[in-house]
Amino acid sequence: GGERKRLNIAVQLISLPRLILLDEPTTGLDSSTSLDLIVMLREVAKTGCTVITTIHQPSSTIFNLFDKLLVLADGNTFYRGKASEVIRAFESFGFKSPPLYNPGDFVLELAKSRSAVKAVLSKNLYKNRASSRVRTKTESKCGIAKADHVSESDEKLTQVEVVVDNKISSNESTSIGNMNSKASVKEWSPSAKFETSWMTQCKAIYQRALIVKQSSIFDFLTLLQIMATAVLLSLVYFQLKEDEDTIQDRMGLVFFISAFWVYFSLIGAAATFPEERAVLLRERAQGSYYLSAYFCAKQAAEIPLNLVSPSLFIILVYWMTNLHSSVGNFFQYWIFVLLTVEISASLGMLISAAEKDPKRALTWVTILVLLAQFLAGFFIDLDNIPPWLRWLNWLSFMKYTFGAQVITAFDESARFSCAASDSEFSVCNEGGSYITGRDVLAARAIPYIPVAYSLVLVLGTITSKILTYFVLFYRYKPYSPKSNPSSSVDEKEAEKQEEDVGREKGGTSPEQPSTGTGPVGSLKMQEKLQLTTSSLGSTAHIRSERDFIRSNTNTDFCLDLKRRHGSISSILHTSMGTDGVISPDKQITLAYKDVEVRVSQNHILKGISGEAKPGQLLSIMGPSGSGKTTLLNSIAGRQALSHGHVTLNGKDQLNAMKRSIAYVMQDEVFFGVMTVRQIMYFAATIRLPDSMTVADKHKRADTIMSLLGIDKCADSIVGTFDRRGISGGERKRLNIAVQLITFPSLILLDEPTSGLDSSTSLDLVITLRELAKRGCTVITTIHQPSSAVFKLFHKLQVLADGHVFYDGEGARAAEWFQNMGFKCPRNYNPGDFVLELAKNENAVAVVLREQRQREEEGDGEEARQENKNAKSLHESSCLENAGKGASMADTREGTDSLTLYRQSVQSVTGMADGREGLPSTVELVNVRGKKGDAVDNSEGRDRKVDMKERDAGFGSAKDKWSGTFETGWVTQFQALSKRAWIIKQSEAFDQLNFFMIIITALFMGMIWFQLEKKEEAIRDRFGLVFFVGIFWSFFPMFQSATAFPSERAVLLRDRAQGMYRLSAYYVAKQIAEMPLNWLNPTIFVIIVYWMSNLNPEVGIFFQYWIVVILGVELSVSIGLFISAAEKSVKRSTTWLILIVLGSVLFAGYFIRIDNIPVWIRWLQWLSYFKYILGSQTTTVFDENIKFECADSNSVFPECTNGVQTQVSGTDVLSQRGVEDIMLAYILVVFVAFVFLRITTYFILYHRYKPVSSI
């Protein structure tokens, strides 16, 4: 992630821009990498660039690198000026930063406080104007202007004008690589639209498109799917005989090949532009290239690659099936298949360009393919389509793709021997011995016009590509805000205002060159670049910085902090009962000793030891790669240990304890269609005991939501890839809220503050500390704690390269390192300071060497026991030796705002009951603040008590922990059913799916409208039954194929925490989803059955509906079975495609079973679709339905012999080779459905076991 972030910035710096705008570039990076990035931006600014960046939570070092600072609060300018003066500015209002405190964190805390914001704005420091601007110039050190996010709400900055001195003097050098001044800032020519020519752009884009397309074309699973289909087709149609009985089989083979490549190419191309949309818009907005160059290069790169897979496919299938014996015919057929691929890909690209949403694009593609197949002339004779709808067949592109391939396979040179009797071709009935391909085409009403087919396919491809280009041109225009003349400000007035500010500050005016030593002193102002955004709210213009420097004391901010922090304690006290403490028999002490973890050849953890007691908040810190998450996973039982052991209450991890242990993973795993309230109520219902009423459980959930500040978004969905939901910070807090619902005894959190602003992070850590205060044991990894957050840690363990770098009290870390020779600056976050030391090889070497020396100096068991907490004990000895020299400056203020601030924090973070003898953070600061006072290290000595003795009181803990679930099976079933219903409901009532189903049903009803009961319409009826069967086999199967992979993370998390029984989950899921699985096919069957006049009897309708529903359930069962067995969605989809294609080939529609080679024919009994299609055809073609014989060339002996004028449905089945055993088909479908559901459960039980014993 960090490398992706830096690559994103590197791409923008490649052209050495004059103005660089960055939106939270350090988010997701560790402090050291963030520092390197900001240093690099500062160096870029020295070349004459103007750099403006928003920063989520800057470290102390990063904050000191800013030249200018802009802080926003509720849409107003809260501070604007030099970053170095921000502390002094707020001190004038009585808001004084505590020592060892990051100025950035301090300012954000102020900006979060309503009273502080009100106090600052009330001093008339800013005045509202109809329009105003903030003018940022490159200053003496660098041109970094920074706007801090104070919350998760959008910023409301009205208008910004950035004045850029774009030319640097010739004698000015840069500090980036070997770039000189001329290379770093070039002459700006506004008339030159692009830096490179059209041809150069084409070459570069061509190379990129080639790389991207190769990854998809040569993807292993894609090739496997294509080649497996080719092999399967070749075996099923192996060396077809050249006689009349195989004519329909050959037609089926040609249609199958055409439909396969149409759908495959359309689906592949439909996601093209939605996937590339962000890149295309960004590059177009930056004027990187012509759109025409992009489009032409993309086509040139993709067209040859699009032809690779179909060429291999055709070479294999054509010759193995004996489709035609002529070599020339093979090349003609190959060309038509390639044209099929190209027109399909072109139409897919057109849809993807017109529809930006991939899901909607896929819906339109599916509808297009279905309609094109209906009108292609294979499933229904075009002459049997109602005349008022028949004209649509000329718009079906598959009419031309299928027609072009059919006329190639059935040309004049093709010869087929006549059937011995009952031939459907008049040439045979008149005494002929063979049939030509032209005779076949004439019987199927397919004109032999290869040139026309070729022309239509070529023109269709070219037209689609041209339309795609123009759609791209208008649909993918880069965002360009229009100027607002009414908001412009007179330039002279603006410059005069800036000069006034400069004089009041005692500095230079904007037009006066800086006298600093930086490169700006030599900049010449030649041009101005204006960046304007539309007004979104009230504007504020700074009048003078003199107003900042006033003698004023304001205590409202401190009182606001006290109320804010105190409310957390009050909420927790109310929720957890009058005692406010977890009972002693439910408290957990976690200890880990000599933990080592090796993964392959990497030695990640190298003998880590530590412990966490009830009442303690233990934070694990360290730079990236130090092993924080690995250690947390190890002590949670989610990572196998190479050496060492982890104990709970002095014993091995008890499975019965897992329901009192919460593990908050870094990744949030939720069902995106559920609202925050639904998720919380579900967790409360299923995790809180049955002894609580539903109302009480919901009340607990509401309390937790209020505590973590997610009550305002309680009725918003979490969000999916196509539906916007709550913000990332709200998802993070929801992730924690779900785990806090039971107030667990042990809480493990992996970087819970990542993605949250510093103020929200502080509230969260205060909550965790309060939970610890009431008997919880809290262990968390922290990515980059703010100053306030760092002060809240009871214990701190810092890792460096797999070793313990520090292990002791968090409040004493800075002083401990000071006695080691590493002094933390005053206005500096100790957390940042410790991380910088842990990143420094020399500092790590010094600390580890000192640890080894102490271990060597130790004597016997006492010394080894002491070494468990080496750094904490070493801290105490260092403080004693320091004597009067160890003191903390600037902590002796009187009763001022800082004292009130300390009191407000102490009221929340102090250990009221004095348990474990742990003083609060503020108490520790005050104790050390008195000169000459040595720190009492008796607590450190007390830690030398043997672990077993300390935990003796928990010797019978196993008897006090319940191994049963908090709720009964029925309660779990009810809650899980409700959740499954909500999730499935969003899918069943999805507007796009519903629209596709209704449109497909209506078109099928119109195309097969009121079929006549004639022999000529029998094949059309079979086509309709087949299409209904395959549609409701393919559609639900692929929907269910993602069921368990998409739920896997939630299921594993819930099972690891012992939330519910797997049986309750599985049964609830099946029962809740089953009615919704029936809804759409029921509507579909009602429309199609009666519009097509499939069988007029009402009883047959209900029978047909039942067998369709049974087919749906069997298809869902297969999808669930594959999704449970295969955790990868992509692989499970590949397996399902192969299963569907193979099953369809052996169902007897595309090829008669008797014409399949004997040595592979037995696979028909494994074809699930054979039974689905058999049950549906035997239902429709019963003995009561009658069809009039054809006037001539009837295929039924009863008609040709003149015995009867009608044939029954059973006669039709016999002629088609379908056995009339409806009950047997239904029984097989039902048994297979039940068997697969039961098998899926056992697969889930073994494949989805939680990875933790906790």
pLDDT of residue 1131: 83
AA letter at 294: Y
Using CA atoms, how far apart are residues 664 and 768, in angstroms rounded to an integer?
A: 12
What pLDDT does 494 receive?
A: 41
Q: Read off the pLDDT of each residue in 276-286 and give the average, rounded to a whole number.
A: 83
Whether 1119 and 1233 have beta carbons less than 8 Å apart is answered as no
CB 1241 within 8 A of CB 1066: yes
More confident residue, 236 or 587: 236
The DSSP secondary-structure symbol of 124 reads T
Which amino acid does the sequence have at 148? D
Quote the CA–CA distance of 924 and 947 in Å, as a whole number: 26
Residue-wise DSSP of 138-182:
--SS--EEEEE--SSSPP----EEE----B--TT---SSTT--HH
pLDDT exceeds 50 at position 864: no
Angle at CA of residue 1115, ends 1109 and 1121, nearest 5°: 135
pLDDT, position 32: 67
Among 502-506, 1006-1010, 1203-1207, which stretch is predicted with the lowest mean pLDDT? Answer: 502-506
Give the pLDDT of residue 858.
59
Q: Which whole number is the average pLDDT over 956-967?
A: 56
DSSP labels for 917-981? G---HHHHHHHHHSTTPPPP-HHHHHTTS-HHHHTGGGTTHHHHS--S-SS-HHHHHHHHHHHHH
- Average confidence (pLDDT) over 55-83: 86
Is the model's pLDDT at 316 over the cut of 90? yes
Calculate mean pLDDT across residues 221-225.
86
Per-residue pLDDT, 588: 85
Residue 1208, classified by CB atoms within 10 Å of its CB into exposed (0-12), middle (13-18) or buried (19+), is middle
Q: Which residue has the higher pLDDT, 476 or 1173?
A: 1173
- Please give the structure tokens belonging to residue 551: 């003698």
Instruction: Residue 939: name the closest of 1057, 852, 817, 809 by CA.
Output: 809
Give CA–CA dist 489/495, Å, rounded: 10
Identify the top-confidence range among 55-59, 682-686, 983-987: 682-686
Cβ(972)–Cβ(1064) under 8 Å? yes
* Rounded distance between C-alpha atoms, residue 795 and residue 616, angstroms: 7
Q: Yes or no: say if 589 and 951 are a contact pair by the CB < 8 Å rule.
A: yes
pLDDT for residue 656? 54
With a cut of 50, say whether residue 143 has pLDDT above it. Answer: no
Segment 667-675 shows an average pLDDT of 85
List, in order, residues 6 or more apart from 700 with CB less than 8 Å away: 575, 684, 688, 692, 741
Tokens of 399: 């009419």
Residue with the bigger pLDDT between 728 and 257: it is 257
Most confident of 159-173, 527-541, 592-606, 1060-1074: 1060-1074
Say how many C-beta atoms besides its own lie within 10 A of residue 574's C-beta.
11
The first and second tokens of residue 44, run together, are: 């870029």
Give pLDDT tens digits for 35-66.
Answer: 888 888 888 888 888 899 998 778 888 888 89
Q: How many residues does the chain have?
A: 1254
| Cα within 13 Å of Cα(917), Cβ side | 8
- pLDDT band of residue 897 (cuts 50, 70, 90) is very low
Residue 1203 has pLDDT above 80, yes or no: no
Residues 6+ apart with CB under 8 A from 485: none
Is the pLDDT score of 339 beyond 50? yes
> Residue 552: what pLDDT?
35
Distance CA 662, CA 1059 (A): 11
| 126: β partners | 542
- Cβ atoms within 10 A of the Cβ of 173, count? 12
Beta strands in 525-631 (DSSP E): 541-542, 590-599, 602-612, 617-621
Which segments of 654-788 are extended strands (E)? 661-664, 746-750, 777-781
The CA-CA-CA angle for residues 761, 767, 769, to 5°, reads 105
Candidate from 790-799, 817-826, 899-908 with smallest mean pLDDT:
899-908
| Residue pLDDT, tens place only, 1069-1121 | 999 999 999 999 999 999 999 999 888 889 999 999 999 999 999 999 999 99
Q: Which residues, 6 or more positions from 795, have their beta carbon under 8 angstroms from its beta carbon?
A: 612, 616, 617, 618, 619, 807, 808, 809, 810
Segments in 355-396 forming alpha helices (H): 358-374, 387-390
Which residue has 């991207």 as its token pair? 212
Taking 50 as the threshold, does the pLDDT of residue 928 lie above it?
Answer: no
Cβ partners under 8 Å of residue 1011, min gap 6: 384, 1017, 1020, 1021, 1024, 1092, 1093, 1094
Residue with the two structure tokens 């024919």: 1161
What pLDDT sits at residue 603?
81
Sign of CA dihedral 685, 687, 690, 693: negative
| Dihedral of alpha carbons 322, 328, 334, 337, sign | negative
- State the pLDDT at residue 232: 92
Max avg pLDDT among 32-36, 172-176, 950-954, 1244-1248: 1244-1248
pLDDT in tens, 521-574: 323 323 333 332 232 233 233 222 233 223 334 445 555 555 655 666 666 666
Buried b (16+ CB within 10 A) or exposed e, 217-256: beeeebeebbebbbebbbbbbeebebbbebbbbbbbbbbb
CA neighbor of 755 nearest in space, from 736, 738, 732, 739: 732
- Asked whether the predicted pLDDT for residue 490 surpasses 80, the reply is no
Q: What pLDDT is stored for residue 576 in this prediction? A: 55
Say what the pLDDT of residue 1065 is: 93
Interatomic CA distance for residues 1190 and 1199, integer angstroms:
8
Q: Helix, strand, or coil here: 418?
A: coil
Over residues 966-979, the mean pLDDT reads 91
Burial class (CB in 10 A: 0-12, 13-18, 19+), 858: middle
What's the confidence (pLDDT) of residue 196?
Answer: 87
Range with the lowest mean pLDDT among 282-286, 306-310, 393-397, 1012-1016? 282-286
Beta strand 19-23 with 134-136 is unpaired
Averaged pLDDT, 131-154: 37
873: pLDDT strictly greater than 50 = no
* Helices and strands in the chain: count of H runs, count of E runs: 50, 22
pTM, rounded to two decimals:
0.73
Taking 70 as the threshold, does the pLDDT of residue 938 lie above it?
Answer: no
- Residues of the chain with pLDDT > 70, as a percent, come to 75
Q: In which band, very low, low, confident or very high, does the pLDDT at 499 lie, cut at 50, 70 and 90?
A: very low
**What mean pLDDT value characterizes the chain?**
76
> 847 pLDDT band (50/70/90 cuts)?
confident
Please report the pLDDT score of residue 229 as a whole number: 92
pLDDT band at 791 (very low <50, low <70, confident <90, very high): confident
Tokens of 857: 């100096």
Residue 448's alpha-carbon distances to 372, 441, 443, in angstroms, are: 20, 7, 12
d(C-alpha 490, C-alpha 629), whole Å: 56
Cβ-in-10-Å burial (0-12, 13-18, 19+) of 147 comes to: buried
Tell me: the pLDDT tens digits for 689-718? 888 899 999 998 998 888 887 888 889 998
Q: Which residues of 1141-1165 are buried (b: 16+ CB within 10 A; e: fewer)?
A: bbbbbbbbbbbeeebbeeeeeebbe
What value does the mean pLDDT take over residues 136-143?
Answer: 36
**Got the DSSP string for 427-488?**
HHHTT-SEEEHHHHHHHTT----HHHHHHHHHHHHHHHHHHHHHHHHHHTPPP-PPP-GGG-
What whole-number distance in Å separates Cα of residue 711 and Cα of residue 718? 13
Question: pLDDT tens-digit profile of 392-451?
Answer: 889 999 999 999 999 999 988 888 988 877 777 888 877 778 888 888 888 888 888 989
Alpha carbon dihedral 1032, 1033, 1038, 1040, in 10-degree steps, equals: 90
Q: How many Å apart are CA 308 and CA 295, to the nearest integer? A: 21
